[in-house]
Amino acid sequence: MEFQLDHAKEILRRTPATLNSLLRHLPEEWALSNEGPESWSPFDVVGHLIHGEEADWIPRAKIIMEYGEKRTFEPFDRFAMFEKSRGQSLGDLLDRFEQLRGESLKELEGMNLRPEMLGKRGMHPELGVVTLSHLLSTWVVHDLSHIGQVVKVMAKQYTEAVGAWQVYLSVLRR
């Protein structure tokens, strides 16, 4: 499928509500359990998404619009949330994400992107040349992929509890 800005916005707009519905007021052991060492809990994922709003998507889109390939993006810290989320509740993080996502979408709206601007090029510190439409598509896929991570981590808490059904549930082996 080709990137379509209105579709992308439509999906990005939904993510806070999806996370609210999955996670808000969930018993803490579900929100804080991960898949073992080096893995992320739903709480960690929401923190990571917050950091993406602050340091990744719109900031990088602006760099592309202003500087094109001449200014390489700042590397994105995938683990920043372990420090930044400390002391906050899951409800705090969900609120913050909802607020930031709303602001990001307003900024995106304000860019008045015409189709011919989507091919504008930028410079990723590891991947090299990318385009604005690659960046915005990645934002969409990144959201969806982390929603998938949240439900996978939750599902895995019941790996033993499902008994013999384990063999049918491939999510438990990923």
User: Considering the complex, what minimum distance in angstroms separates the CB of residue 137 from its own copies?
Assistant: 4
Residue with tokens 């996670």: 23
**Residue 21 sits in the site that holds its own copies (CB under 8 A):** yes
105 residue type, one letter: L
Site for its own copies in 133-152 (CB under 8 A): 133-135, 137-138, 140-142, 144-145, 147-148, 151-152
Contact 158, 27 (CB under 8 A): no
> CA-CA distance, 111 to 109, in Å (whole number)?
5
Residue 62 or 148 with smaller CB distance to its own copies:
148
Please tell me whether residue 110 adopts helix, strand or coil conformation: helix
How many residues lie near its own copies (CB under 8 A)? 53
> CA-CA distance, 156 to 110, in Å (whole number)?
41
103 residue type, one letter: E
- The token pair at 73 is 């993006």
**Residue 155 sits in the site that holds its own copies (CB under 8 A):** yes
For residue 128, the cross-strand partners are 124
**Residue 112 sits in the site that holds its own copies (CB under 8 A):** no
Binding site for its own copies (CB under 8 A): 1-3, 7, 10-11, 14, 17-18, 20-22, 26-27, 29-30, 33, 124, 127-131, 133-135, 137-138, 140-142, 144-145, 147-148, 151-152, 154-155, 157-158, 161-165, 167-172, 174
